[in-house]
Chains A and B, each alone.
Chain A
Amino acid sequence: MFLEIKDLSVKIENKNILKSLNLNINKGEVHAIMGPNGSGKSTLANVLAGKEDYEILNGKINFKDNDLFDLNIEERAQEGMFLAFQYPVEIPGVNITPFLHSAINSKRKRMNEDEIDNLSFAKLLKSKASDLGINIDMLKRSVNVGFSGGEKKRYEILQMSILNPDLAILDETDSGLDIDALKIVTDGVNKLKTKDNSFLIITHYQKLLDYIKPDYVHVMVNGSIVKSGGSEIAAEIEKEGFQKFQ
């Protein structure tokens, strides 16, 4: 199993958010989690990425034969996990090029691969940015500073395409995107899909799933997955809302 979440319960500030959650993802699969506001979707994404604000009450997570709780945040990223943030953080004064260059090399180092040199990295970044319709001048700016909502999400996908993760978690990547930006972003995701990597897509709406076809759709309500199935569930939610699952 590529990612196995077993009986996971999580709380933050005395509030139980995830309750005995189970989820299995195999290599090459695309899973979507849909759920109403406050159901715990983003908490799941943050816990997987290693955010330290949460208290793990119970459960286990295995990722690529590692106990995920034995890995810190950067080790998870270096092992191939990537979180595309719902609200990417603005970091004034940090340019994306040296930051991503350093990130990719820390991953390569862990994998015992040679570091990528400045010139090769610049070429890679330029080509990936061009695929996502990101202006080269924007690469000279500080991370996410002064970007529109759509630009931030495109930047997340750019980072994902550079780091080429084994498991990408997209936390409401569609929010704040107009239809053209949604197409560019989802094209970028689809280009990355191979039989060797997996995706966990968190969304409220079916629209995103029209562009990225999931193998499985899960409905999350009140911290647990209450229903799993194929794309038909997304259509059902679009038609009837989340009410019937609560």
Chain B
Amino acid sequence: MNIQDNYQKNKKNIFFSENKNVENHRKKLISIFENDKFDKKNNESLKNTNLKNFFDFKYKYLVPEEKSVINNHHDNSYSIVCVNGQCSSFKDDKIQITKIIEGDYIDFSKNNTIEKNDHFVNLNSLFLNCGFKIIIKKNNNIKIKISNIVTDDELTIFQKNNFICEEGSSLNLIEEYENKNNSTSNILNVIKLEKNTQLNHFLIQDNSPSHNLIITSHSSCKKDSTYTQKVYNFSEGYVRNFHFSELIELNSEADLQGIFFLKDNNTSNNKTFVKHLAEDCKSNQVYKGILNDHSKATYFSNTYVDQVAQKTEGYQLSKGILLSDNASYFSKPELKIYADDVKCSHGSTIGPIDENAIFYLRSRGMSKIAATKILISSFINEELSSIDDKQMSQIIQKKLVRYLSKVK
């Protein structure tokens, strides 16, 4: 089934299909799909991707029977169980949660300047069937934990979420993805940080081999705001992490970090892209991967520095350990700099585990497997030891131990 037929057939279940502006936008998207050659070599969003799986799919969406749950723990923390991409409405003096509205869709479609050629984002816009909007009200400091649950097999979730941090607010956001069915979740997070805000965003991904997770985020930072994102990918199924940040006003920062742990035949595609569009902004893009068996990964990092963005600091780093001769990790850092007073760097090191270090540890009496495990742990030690939240640190440690138990 082609994309157009698929859309027409399921249109009545897709958000905003009665809106003319939305329909016009979607017609353009369909024409992009119809005219594109799906060139895997040159389109980074398609590398290592099974096109048939994702673009020739059977649409299926179920409105969850059980409503999502929102708990306010009275200590400025909230926990949300989001079911099939749906979240109940909620409002108090600190946060407001609603469904996404047509205006959010149109707003994003108009202003999406970073990546026009991303077919997964286009697919999300075309088949949008769920999503929510969370507003953190002015000058509040809160913590939200969202568990993203998919209830049934073979669902195709196209979810769009909006997060807005109003001026002076601070948010610690933990999102968990742990699904054991063979559904596909295509999620787009649009994140807006107003002046003097901070968002620490943690994504813990741990799906079963048959579950596909495609997650994209677009964050924009106004004056004196900082967006920090840390992705921990333990999934045994396919995961795509594409994260974009725009530093649109003075003295804003984006820190995009990720660690992935792959084994068997699993694949993970990763991309980070930071656009410096104002002076005195900082960015950091660091991804580390551990790959075993026949697993494959890609990581594309990009820093764009506009001519007005003087005094920019932008760093990129990619590191990988290949535990097997059959594993592969393709990394491509890019810098486009149009300002002359900047500090930017990039680096990439991928290879097998250091044999000299293994010999050193074994010569003290440690077994080869214990030495390998201690070196894997040390490779990501900096990232793990920087987790302040004790509960989250324990969760990550537990998942790491599970991954290491399979390393032979």
Q: A interface vs B, CB < 8 Å?
A: 49-52, 72-74, 76-78, 82-83, 85, 88-89, 91-94, 99-100, 102-104, 106-107, 142, 159, 163
Q: Report if A89-B360 is in contact (Cβ < 8 Å); known contacts: A94-B378, A99-B374.
A: yes
Let me know if B374 and A106 touch, CB within 8 A: no
Q: Does B20 contact A (CB under 8 A)?
A: no
Q: Contacts A73-B359, A85-B360, A89-B360: A94 and B365 contacting too (C-beta < 8 A)? A: no
Residue B381, interface by CB 8 Å = yes
Across the interface, do A163 and B381 meet the contact criterion of CB distance under 8 Å?
A: no
Q: For the complex, is B97 an interface residue (Cβ under 8 Å from A)?
A: no
Q: How far is the CB of A133 from chain B (nearest CB, A)?
A: 22
In angstroms, how far is the closest chain B Cβ from the Cβ of A71? 11
A94 touches B374 (CB 8 A): yes
How many angstroms between the C-alpha atoms of A49 and B362 in the bound complex? 9
Query: Chain B contacts of A163 at CB under 8 A?
Result: 364-365
Residue among A52, A77, A93, A106 making CB contact with B377, cutoff 8 Å: A93
CB distance from B254 to the nearest CB of A (A): 25
Task: List, in ascending order, chain A residues with CB within 8 A of B29's CB.
Answer: none
Is there an interface contact between A99 and B361, defined as CB atoms closer than 8 Å? yes
* Residues of the A chain whose Cβ atoms lie less than 8 Å from the Cβ of B359: 49, 51-52, 73, 89
Interface of chain B: mostly helix, strand, loop or mixed: helix
**Are B370 and A77 interface neighbours, CB within 8 A?**
no
> Is B356 on the interface with A (CB-CB < 8 A)?
yes
Some 20 contacts from A to B, beta carbons below 8 A apart, are A50-B363, A72-B368, A74-B365, A74-B368, A77-B363, A78-B365, A82-B364, A89-B354, A89-B360, A91-B361, A93-B377, A93-B378, A93-B382, A99-B361, A99-B374, A102-B366, A103-B365, A104-B365, A107-B365, A163-B364
Whether B357 sits at the interface, judged by CB under 8 Å, is: yes
B375 at the interface (CB under 8 A from A): yes
Residues of A within 8 A of B378 (CB): 91-94, 142
Query: Given A91-B378, A94-B374, A94-B378, do A100 and B364 touch, yes or no (CB 8 Å)?
Result: yes
A residues in contact with B370, CB < 8 Å: 102, 106
Nearest residue (CB) in A for B368 is A74
